[in-house]
Structure 1
Amino acid sequence: MKFYRKQPIEAEQFDGSDEMVDKYELIDAGTMLGTHHSPELYLTGSGKVDVGDWIATGVNGEHWLIADDVFKQTYAELPVIPKAVADWIEKCKHDGTSVGDMLCYERQPEKVRDWIELTPGTYDFNQRRYAEHQDLVARAWLDGYTVEEDK
């Protein structure tokens, strides 16, 4: 048996809005049967859509449903990191630096080191924060990331 890792996925949680019904071309069950309007909506080829389900989009624009409980067990949001950390990751990847060297304290720019290890406002070293942010940066390197909005 072979095991494969999950790739990042583009998905949106269905909120029942008309905008999402139109965006994903959801079909009213009554219209499908030629009778009357029904509160039940369907995604072509995937089945009934309930509020809270996730609609995933594939690389070729195809859509499929994922139940909320399955989605939450299977996927995690991409890490959100500051621009300085994102720039550091991209520089290291461009330069052929290993993930281990990218995480090396002595090699990191000061802004990256400070974000990883210091509690904002107090500038105290926090071991738990350090470990969590090291993991977050490694995940961002491997899975991708979202850059934190300026405050």
Structure 2
Amino acid sequence: MIKIYRKTATIKAEQFDGSNEMVDKYRIEYDEAYMVPFRIEALEGLIGVESGDWIATGIHGEHWLVADAVFKQTYAELPVIPNYVADWIEKCKHDGTSVGDMLCSERRPEKMRDWMALTPGTYEFNQCRYKEHQELVARAWLDGYQVEEDK
């Protein structure tokens, strides 16, 4: 019987823009004699890379290329959350708290409750923001997250 699977690993990826910075960073060769003048050492060997392709990097530093259209259908960026939300997620996971209890309004720290539900500046309850942030935190719990840079 065929089963359905989803990818669970996270990857690092950067869209190639043809800049000298990226050519140097990924040790990309340039040779006008080839149909695709930029070439990168990837899992498949030395292959052509074009502006717009994604260079993915695995846990051992290996690279592989993904065409832009395929990348957009296959990968989603990890949620970006504030540090205090990340701290709450990690505390709850450490303590054995369920994802439902972690999202429970009465249990969450006040700063997190405000971030989830209140419109910045007006501090009025915003149902749409609350729903979006609840889903964002649940996704961060399940898939991992990036911590928002300090402003």
- 1:74 and 2:48 matched: no
Which residue is equivalent to 1:87?
Answer: 87
Which piece of structure 1 moves more, 16-25 or 78-87?
16-25
Which residue is equivalent to 1:61?
Answer: 61
Counterpart amino acid of residue 5 in structure 1:
R
SS of 1:43's equivalent in the other structure is strand
Greater percentage in helix: 1
Contact 1:46 1:64 in 2 (8 A): no
TM-score normalised by L of structure 1? 0.88
TM-superposed deviation, 1:21: 1.5
- Structure 1 CA distance, aligned partners of 2:27 and 2:61? 13
TM-superposed deviation, 1:37: 8.3
- Structure 2 CA distance, aligned partners of 1:69 and 1:8? 19
Structural mapping, 1:8-87, within 5 Å: 8-30=10-32, 40-44=37-41, 45=45, 47-87=47-87
CA RMSD between the two structures = 1.8
Contact 2:30 2:37 in 1 (8 A): yes
Which piece of structure 1 moves more, 52-61 or 13-22?
13-22
SS of 1:107's equivalent in the other structure is coil
Task: Give 4+ residue runs of structure 1 displaced > 6 Å after superposition.
Answer: none
- Structure 2 CA distance, aligned partners of 1:132 and 1:46? 43
Contact 1:83 1:148 in 2 (8 A): yes
Structure 1 unpaired stretches of 5+: 31-35
Contact 1:29 1:38 in 2 (8 A): no
TM-superposed deviation, 1:105: 0.8
SS of 1:55's equivalent in the other structure is strand
SS of 2:78's equivalent in the other structure is coil
For residues 115-137 of structure 1, give each alpha carbon's deviation from its aligned partner in whole angstroms, at most 9, with x where no partner exists. 11111111111111111000000
- Structure 1 CA distance, aligned partners of 2:36 and 2:13? 23
SS of 1:105's equivalent in the other structure is coil
- 1:113 and 2:113 matched: yes
Structural mapping, 1:101-140, within 5 Å: 101-140=101-140
Structure 2 unpaired stretches of 5+: none
- Structure 1 CA distance, aligned partners of 2:125 and 2:46? 50
- Structure 2 CA distance, aligned partners of 1:11 and 1:62? 11
SS of 1:47's equivalent in the other structure is strand
Which residue is equivalent to 1:5?
Answer: 6
Judging changes above 3 Å, is the alpha-carbon distance between structure 1 residues 18 and 108 closer, same or farther for their aligned structure 2 residues? Answer: same
